[in-house]
Amino acid sequence: MADTPYNVDAEISSLCSTGLRPDILTGVVLRILTHHFSREKGISHPQLKGYLWSNNPKDTKINIVPLWRWDTRRAQDRPAVVVKRNALRPKQLALADGAALVHDFHPEKIPANQPATQQVAMVGSHTIFALSTIPYQAEILGSEISSRLIQYAQVFQSEFGFHRFRVAEIGALHKVEEASEYFSIPITVAYTYVDAWQVWSTSPYLKRLVFGTEL
Amino acid sequence: MPWVVRGQDGSFDQVAQPEAVQPGDINDGVLSEATDIVDTHGLPKKMLPKVSLFKFEPPKSLVNQALNG
């Protein structure tokens, strides 16, 4: 069967219940990268074709890990992609904390005791370090990752519920301070999303009033 | 230019690479040559700036520019 432009049988994403939290955001970036390097068919640069990612650290030809799991002692000179979350900043929305921006916002349909949805915009970024002990390999690894992120920015934006998802910068070649034998191309992706919630009270306000007297 | 296809199983990255461009063609050749120079001579390596993976933090303005531009 021919490939279709849309996946109509998609399962409900776990993001519906978890939302985009800092740890989930790192997971999203890792998911994009591990999926890309899981199949040779998806890798576009001919010299990277053999570098397939595997969940087994012993078998994988390329390490794709969050920053806190990157261990240079076990890297064995393999190329690596290290993902670091940068600062995430809440940004207050205008017009009653963005209540008017909720798609299903119909004030006349909200029962008297139901609170309105509150929202806050979150602005943040992740930096993806394309690492190799060979400078040229770091360069082509960075190119492979950055071009894929740019090409699929709109898809990631809609699939993962971002308001906006963009590649902010593809850095120059650097030496790595923590592991001097490695070279790095830092790629920064910037994103923003809206976190929405409702606060329900389980008991009426002022359910109990305590009066006292002092003599 | 690679052809980007959205997979039926929800995958993002099925890419058909035109067969005409092969490793060793002019672009790869030029880049490989430049790489050899970096690999064989110590001086360019010493001149490279350093980055700390743990301390790296992009400027706030860079992030805002990417999102608002």
pLDDT of B10 above 90: no
Give residue B32's pLDDT.
46
Across A18-35, b (16+ Cβ under 10 Å) vs e yields eebeeeebbbbbbebbbb
Give the CA distances from residue A30 to residues A37, A140, A204, B31, in Å, rounded to whole numbers and listed in that order.
11, 19, 44, 29
The pTM of the full predicted model, rounded to 2 decimals, is 0.74
Contact B48 A175 (CB under 8 A): yes
Q: Which of A1, A6, A7 to mutate to test the interface with B (most CBs of B within 10 A)?
A: A7
The answer, for B27 touching chain A at a CB cutoff of 8 Å, is no
pLDDT of residue B45: 65
- In a mutagenesis test of the A interface, which of B3, B5, B12 is the best target, namely the one with the most A β-carbons within 10 Å? B12
B9 touches chain A (CB under 8 A): yes
pLDDT band at B40 (very low <50, low <70, confident <90, very high): very low
B50: closest CA of chain A, how far (Å): 5
**Predicted confidence (pLDDT) at residue A17 exceeds the cutoff of 80:** no
Give A110-160 pLDDT, tens digit per residue: 555 666 677 889 999 999 999 998 888 999 999 999 999 999 999 999 888
- Which residue blocks in A49-161 are alpha helix, DSSP H? 72-75, 94-98, 135-151, 153-159
Of A137, A87, A185, nearest in space to B49 by CA: A185
- What integer pLDDT is reported at residue A99 of this predicted model? 60
Reported ipTM: the value is 0.71
Contact list, B10 vs chain A (CB under 8 Å): 7, 10
Please tell me which residue of chain B has the smallest CA distance to A159: B10
